[in-house]
Amino acid sequence: MSEVQNILSKLISFDTVSRNSNLKLISYIQDYLSGFGISSRLVENDDKSKANLYATIGPNIAGGVILSGHTDVVPIDDQDWDTDAFTLTEKDGKYFGRGTCDMKGFIAICLAAVPNVLAADLKRPIHLYFSYDEEIGCIGAVELVNEIVKHLPPVEAVIVGEPTNMQVANLHKGVAAYMTRVTGVEAHSSKTNLGISANLAAAKLIHFLSDLLDEFKLNPQKNLTSLIPNHNTLNVGLLKGGTALNILPRSCEFSLDIRTLPSDNPEKYMDQYRAYARKIEKQMQAEFEIANIEISTSAKAPGLIPEPNGNAERLALNLSSNNKTIAVAYGTEAGLFQRAGYSTIVCGPGSIDQAHKPNEFIEISQIEKGEIFIEKLINRVAN
Ligand SMILES: [Zn+2]
């Protein structure tokens, strides 16, 4: 068994679905690194059930490279797997398991390279940076980016190893997620004078959002044809309201996910939406004072914008032997780094087509490409 496979099988065995703690995996990485005399620092969440980890290998000076990955994975609920999702299974030149592709494969490559990094006598550092709760909105990374801005010397580049088939992505949308909770007043459905329907109020709000989506479609950004679609999008993915056919529903809630072009800001549209919600709330409260509408933000991650002559792009193109960049449809932590002033790129093994699905896998050939990339990086910072 190769060292990468060994480490990957260990990483996969920890059920780090975002709703669970990732501490066992983090302490495995911490122990692994300390076995090489490398100390790591943790940045915990409020209730200390999860942690980000970062570690510096080589001299702690400016000009290093950050390799970034997230430790959490998406759930396997209601998915039909042919193998145990938390046991690494090798078949037909592929490793199967939840997180193999998104994105424990990249983390395993980084960790397996540690002995080579140490042997290389680095002139500049390689920083490892592993976060929690990426899959539910890059939550851990917000704290971690704040932390490294304070504690790490400036770096040449940040490479976020999300699956791009080892291509270099310099562009993706921003993602923001919200919940709307409408509270009405319950009554017999025939007595609309005694109550107010939360579902019908929610319908008005969703209608507003549907119109907003139509407006988005009419406003593509023409110079960004590599983004498909090249306009903002929104989705109401979850909707829950009411209790029975003949009861005016007291509560209705729904999710909203807005994906904006990287230079745009979702708050612009949320301001319009909130203003409309206030108007509907006022109408409801004119009838029943206790009715209300609450809108909360559950996640927000900015988009990634191509950097003219960016360090990270140049470095990643060189290391991956690519001559052009791509855009990706999904969001990543890269935008958070970029907004904090770091030159950032997304480049990692595996295909996003295999992520988040049952029987997630990574081609072993992709792991090998990732290993070559890291080897080249080591050579570069050793000279
Ligand atoms: Zn991911």
pLDDT at 235: 96
pTM for this structure? 0.89
Protein residues with C-beta less than 5 angstroms from the ion ligand 1? 102-103, 162
| Residue indicated by tokens 């090998």 | 368
**C-alpha span between 163 and 102 (Å, rounded):** 6
Could you state, in order of their start, the residue ranges of all structural domains in the chain? 3-171+303-381, 174-301
Q: What is the 3-state secondary structure (H, E, C) of the chain?
A: CCHHHHHHHHHHHCCCECCCCCHHHHHHHHHHHHCCCCCEEEEECCCCCCEEEEEEECCCCCCEEEEEEECCECCCCCCCCCCCCCCCEEECCEEECCCHHHHHHHHHHHHHCHHHHHHCCCCCCEEEEEECCCCCCCHHHHHHHHHHHHHCCCEEEEEECCCCCCCEEEEECEEEEEEEEEECECCECCCCCCCECHHHHHHHHHHHHHHHHHHHHCCCCCCCCCCCCCCCEEECCCEEECCCCCECCCEEEEEEEEEECCCCCHHHHHHHHHHHHHHHHHHHHHHCCCCEEEEEEEEEECCECCCCCCHHHHHHHHHHCCCCEEECCCCCCHHHHHHCCCCEEECCCCCHHHCCCCCCEEEHHHHHHHHHHHHHHHHHHCC
Distance 333 CA to ligand 1 centre (A): 9
Dump pLDDT digits (tens) for 82-98. 999 999 999 999 999 99
pLDDT for 135 beyond 90: no
133 catalytic per annotation: no
Architecture of domain 3-171+303-381: 3-Layer(aba) Sandwich (3.40)
Structure tokens that stand for 262 in this block: 């990287």
Provide the percentage of residues in the chain whose pLDDT is more than 70. 100
Q: Which of 15, 134, 257, 333 is catalytic?
A: 134
Residues 6+ apart with CB under 8 A from 255: 177, 178, 179, 236, 237, 238, 239, 298
- Pick the residue with more confidence: 53 or 136? 53
What is the band of 383 on the pLDDT scale with cuts at 50, 70, 90? Answer: confident
pLDDT at 314: 97
Dump pLDDT digits (tens) for 168-220. 999 999 999 999 999 999 999 999 999 999 999 999 999 999 999 999 999 99
134 catalytic per annotation: yes
Distance 361 CA to ligand 1 centre (A): 13
Lowest mean pLDDT among 10-14, 282-286, 352-356: 352-356
Tell me what the pLDDT averaged over the chain comes to: 95
How large is the average pLDDT for residues 63-67?
Answer: 97
Distance 3 CA to ligand 1 centre (A): 22
Distance 69 CA to ligand 1 centre (A): 8
Distance 375 CA to ligand 1 centre (A): 23
Dump pLDDT digits (tens) for 210-267. 999 999 999 999 888 888 899 999 999 999 999 999 999 999 999 999 999 998 999 9
CATH domain 174-301 topology = Alpha-Beta Plaits (3.30.70)
Distance 273 CA to ligand 1 centre (A): 29
Distance 186 CA to ligand 1 centre (A): 42
pLDDT for 125 beyond 90: yes
